[in-house]
Structure 1
């Protein structure tokens, strides 16, 4: 009997020791897991985590970088694109992302190299061609921008955003006739006249700009922003006439001679300024942002179609009596 009791005690003690050992192992394991769950800090650690946890880590980090880029967190976006390239050196979207960030930062040489790298990787890709075309358009290098955008449109004819960018590039280069059909297909006829009118206004060509804004209003009377700029240009014209000492009341037909308009050198930010004032952004084309202009009692009745700017002005003056 004593032997049996001793054996039983020994057996119970063994179980207790085993439980203590297992408990210690579990505790140490939890500490290790907790330590390994800490977020990675360095670029190499992030690449390692991406390889282990994500099915397509390059696409995940590209999407993450694009979101950070849109939110203005450019440093984090750059890191995300670099992680994507670390996982997949052939990620075109990551190469384009880094090129865009270099462009925004003013590193034009690095940006151009990045865009050309993407073009070498995918020479037939419409988005790549459009991206480098927009880069040259921002630099006002129309002879390089327009061919790239034209090829991109041929590759992706249904992409309204690329077609819009081509139309803006053509108009900014001075080829308004070629720009018009692309802009009409991208954003609509009234908006096409508005966009060209805005570019002309930015160049200081008030007479031609007035005609474009007028056409936009005639096509779409509720187009408040086109009406706003039409009124602004007419005020500017009146101010110039007054400064030139020309009166508009001579003669019964209202044919006072107008002062000559100076054609200013195109601004280096023509397209960017136009976008900020309501032209379609670089994303999916949309109708220009509406700007509520001054209330105008003459808008209760619509003028006859095909009026010149002077005839429309005379019509409105008559409506006031």
Structure 2
């Protein structure tokens, strides 16, 4: 196992000082190799040291302007600071340079979500969902985005898939309730809102929606 691999292992085990030492040694030994800078940038991002992380990713890009994971790392630095337009640019560069993984498509989709461009987010969240069918967070955000774009049937199917992955997902039940209301099926909606509240008694949106449906049914 080389120093970079050891460093990654230490980082995964939250031994950040040891990881930093290994990455520093790897960079000293191969100063023209971008991978060391990328790994150190990832470590600094984990530690919320965004100023230095940005510097390391930019150095990697100077050494190799096709280093897709450096653009992805830089995108995460901007995303964590809520600089969504800048993050978006970097994620696009990462994809253009050959990174075709669920995470980069998901993160790009989420930059659009945060800017309320739900139509632009949809194809990227779709791609992420295709690449990671068992990732609950990706599937849930994809389902939400479908609903926001008025694709209620697909949203409903995706939320049911989320529940196959995590059967105690109160937000998925709440969103199934909203889908049922769109289909003018208040009784099914009520069942879903009740289930959401059964799982999470403090689910304010479900409680509010339940109250409104019950009121409408009693009138």
Q: Identify the TM-score tier after normalising by the shorter chain.
A: 0.5 to 0.7
Partner of 1:33: none
Question: Between Structure 1 and Structure 2, which shows a larger proportion of helix residues?
Answer: 2
How do 1:164-243 and structure 2 match up within 5 A? 164-188=106-130, 194-196=140-142, 214-217=156-159, 222-225=164-167, 228-231=170-173, 234=193, 235=197, 236-240=204-208
Write the distance in 2 (CA, Å) between the matches of 1:232 and 1:221: 11
Partner of 1:124: 66
Q: Mark the CA change 1:238 to 1:117 in structure 2 (over 3 Å): closer, same or farther.
A: closer
Q: Mark the CA change 1:237 to 1:160 in structure 2 (over 3 Å): closer, same or farther.
A: closer
Q: Mark the CA change 1:163 to 1:239 in structure 2 (over 3 Å): closer, same or farther.
A: closer
Contact kept, 8 Å, 2:37 with 2:57, in 1: the verdict is: yes
Give the TM-score taking structure 2 as reference length: 0.68
Number of residue pairs aligned between Structure 1 and Structure 2: 186
Shift of 1:179: 1.9
Give the TM-score taking structure 1 as reference length: 0.49
Write the distance in 1 (CA, Å) between the matches of 2:102 and 2:213: 46
| Higher CA-based Rg | 1
Q: Deviations along 1:86-122, whole A, 9 cap, x unmatched?
A: 2111231211222222233332222221222222222
Q: Deviations along 1:278-305, whole A, 9 cap, x unmatched?
A: xxxxxxxxxxxxxxxxxxxxxxxxxxxx
Write the distance in 2 (CA, Å) between the matches of 1:172 and 1:226: 26
Partner of 2:185: none
Q: Mark the CA change 1:223 to 1:140 in structure 2 (over 3 Å): closer, same or farther.
A: same
Contact kept, 8 Å, 1:98 with 1:114, in 2: the verdict is: yes
How do 1:38-77 and structure 2 match up within 5 A? 60-77=2-19
Q: Deviations along 1:176-201, whole A, 9 cap, x unmatched?
A: 222222222222398655114569xx
Q: Extract unaligned runs of 5+ from structure 2.
A: 176-192, 198-203
Q: Mark the CA change 1:181 to 1:62 in structure 2 (over 3 Å): closer, same or farther.
A: same
Structure 1 runs of 4+ aligned residues shifted over 4 Å read: 189-193, 196-199, 218-221
Shift of 1:164: 2.8
1:79 matched to 2:21:
yes
Partner of 1:152: 94
Write the distance in 1 (CA, Å) between the matches of 2:47 and 2:17: 11
